[in-house]
Amino acid sequence: MKLYYTKGACSVAAHIALEHSGLLFELKEIAKDTPQEQRDRFIKLNSKHKVPTLELSPGSVVTENPAVLMYIASQSKVSIVPSPEELAPHKLIEILSFAASEVHPPFSFLFHPDAYSFDETNVPHIKSVGVKKITNSFSWVESQISGKFYFGDDPSIVDFYLFIFYRWAQVFKIPIEPFQKFKTLFLSVLALDSTHRALTSEGLSHWRRQLEQTPSGSKSTD
């Protein structure tokens, strides 16, 4: 199994999930300086040109974050989704779909504001619209979190997916102070050994410096 990823992108969620799962996998980075031959092979695998792309076997791939995360969960050696008795499968899909359709897309207003207007004077407005959409989606997430993780005391693929959005919000200096439960979720995922391994291999271990700023400075394990 191979995960095609981009450093710091939404594929971080799948990377953490794989590290947490105990499954064997390889990493293939897709970056601006990726040789054209490798890039062409990636495009053949996924004509959408998007990460994450999970190659199960030659020519067989899973794409789109919800599908990739659910596949990893289905193969995982440890539980990273609530049991069907705890949460109906369609409710899990509902939450992942909300993250993919409501939380994720507005960040494109901040990453690529020029894609929404040819007039540079519109960029501040475009960004402000993105921030408003993001904070609105964060408000709903905040209202649903039921513990240090989304579903309580145990991490899941939902947490791994939401994690990256909170981090992006920090990078863009979005006012997220009101979302204290979301902050706890973020720090709880950040403290996992699986997250440490994923971030270290992507060259993002500096993200974990925030743990040193928490009152206890404690770190949890998988």
Q: Where in the chain are the domains? A: 2-75, 89-213
Closest CA to 78 of 140, 10, 154, 145: 154
Cα-trace Rg, the chain: 17
> Can you list the positions of beta strands (E) in 6-105?
26-29, 53-57, 60-63
pTM of the model: 0.93
2-75 shares its CATH topology with 89-213: no
pLDDT in the model for residue 16: 99
Contact 198, 167 (CB under 8 A): no
Express each pLDDT in 66-105 by its tens digit: 999 999 999 999 999 999 999 999 999 999 999 999 999 9
Query: Exposed, middle or buried, 161 (CB in 10 Å: 0-12/13-18/19+)?
Result: buried
pLDDT in the model for residue 222: 59
Closest CA to 65 of 85, 51, 48, 82: 51
Mention the CATH class of domain 89-213.
mainly alpha
Give the mean model confidence (pLDDT) for residues 202-209: 94
Contact 8, 202 (CB under 8 A): yes
pLDDT in the model for residue 211: 84
Topology given in CATH for the domain delimited by 2-75: Glutaredoxin (3.40.30)
pLDDT in the model for residue 216: 47
Express each pLDDT in 170-188 by its tens digit: 999 999 999 999 999 999 9
